[in-house]
């Protein structure tokens, strides 16, 4: 926040994009550091931090906003610079009642919500922005849910996993109706093929499936066996889905098959 306020200290109007570039140069950020994204992958982390620094100081009335994505320093901001603070952070800004009003959320009877109070403490003790904290929390919850789903899959009968695979492919637009897709799975059961599903609602092409719960890494020989089964069926497309993961050799094998497209979906991809 302090470097941003110092830039505004010239009294001129500045834009968000301008100060992002100036601060990135001032901090000597590499291209990788500049392009690092938030967990959501929607916005660059550095851009997000500059935006929040500007927002916080605007709420504390150190900066004003003369237009969209524009800002300039206020008299209060000038006074702060004259006092030469070693740094500006959330704790520093809480000396200003306007910022306290922005940063404090109340519930009935004027009491501070316990979760909100905890969030404020986290914000004060970390360099992360509120958006970063929320996204990191979301990713942690999602990862926990994925692990719980994987445990449920591994502890359920094989038919449960087959049904789950069908639901996934139908949700992705394959297989026509759920009823049609369900009839296709689990009825072939020979030559390394676990099922067949329509590529589209019209059934113009077929996708052959292998859906296996697996312990350990799925190696190249298993995937080669699936490819051989596809060739035996004169099939052109196959999907191998597992709760485990595939070895680099297995993935390399599928990238080198001619006139045969095999998609490998591991546990992480399945649960994402």
pLDDT above 90 coverage of the chain, percent: 30
pLDDT digits (tens, 9 = 90+) for 8-64: 999 999 999 999 999 999 999 999 999 998 877 778 989 989 998 999 999 999 999
Measured distance CA(91)–CA(95) in Å, rounded: 8
pLDDT above 70 coverage of the chain, percent: 81
Report whether pLDDT(191) > 60: no
Range in 102-106, 174-178, 242-246 the model is least confident about: 102-106
Contacts of 120 (CB under 8 A, 6+ apart): 90, 103, 104
CATH number listed for the domain at residues 158-271: 3.40.1350.10
Tell me, letter by letter, the H, E, C secondary structure of 1-15: CHHHHHHHCCCCCEE
Contacts of 30 (CB under 8 A, 6+ apart): none
User: How many residues are given for the chain?
Assistant: 272
Measured distance CA(15)–CA(107) in Å, rounded: 36
pLDDT at 200: 67
pTM score, whole prediction = 0.51
- Token reading at 136: 């990191």
Report whether pLDDT(186) > 60: no
pLDDT digits (tens, 9 = 90+) for 15-28: 999 999 999 999 99
Task: Outline where 126-209 has alpha helix (H).
Answer: 130-154, 158-171, 178-184
Average per-residue pLDDT for the chain? 80
pLDDT digits (tens, 9 = 90+) for 81-118: 999 999 999 889 999 999 988 877 433 333 334 344 44
Q: What is the mean pLDDT of residues 152-167?
A: 77
Residue with tokens 């950020």: 29
pLDDT digits (tens, 9 = 90+) for 219-231: 989 888 888 888 8
CATH 3.40.1350.10 intervals, the chain: 158-271
């Amino acid at each position: 926040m302090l470097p941003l306020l110092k830039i505004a200290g010239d009294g001129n109007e500045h834009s968000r994009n301008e100060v992002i570039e100036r601060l990135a140069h001032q901090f000597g950020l590499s291209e990788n550091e500049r392009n690092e994204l938030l967990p959501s992958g929607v916005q660059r982390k550095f851009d997000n931090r500059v935006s929040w620094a500007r927002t916080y100081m605007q709420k504390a009335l150190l900066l004003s906003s003369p237009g969209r994505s524009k800002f300039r320093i206020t008299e209060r901001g000038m006074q702060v610079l004259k006092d030469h603070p070693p740094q500006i952070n959330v704790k520093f800004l809480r000396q200003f009642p306007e910022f306290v009003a922005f940063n404090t959320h109340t519930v009935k009877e004027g009491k501070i919500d316990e979760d909100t109070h905890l969030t404020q403490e986290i914000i004060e003790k970390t360099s992360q922005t509120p958006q970063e904290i929320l996204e990191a929390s979301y990713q942690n919850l999602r990862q926990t849910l994925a692990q719980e789903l994987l445990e449920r899959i591994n502890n359920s009968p094989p038919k449960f996993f087959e049904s789950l695979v069908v639901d996934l492919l139908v949700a992705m637009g394959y297989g026509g109706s759920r009823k049609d897709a369900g009839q296709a799975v689990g009825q072939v059961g020979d030559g390394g093929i676990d099922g067949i599903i329509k590529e589209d609602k019209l059934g113009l092409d077929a996708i052959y499936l292998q859906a296996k719960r697996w312990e350990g890494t799925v190696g190249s020989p298993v995937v080669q066996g699936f490819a051989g089964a596809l060739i035996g069926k004169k099939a052109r497309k196959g999907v191998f889905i597992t709760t485990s993961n595939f070895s680099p050799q297995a993935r390399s094998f599928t990238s080198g098959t001619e006139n045969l497209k095999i998609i490998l979906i591991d546990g992480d991809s399945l649960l994402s």
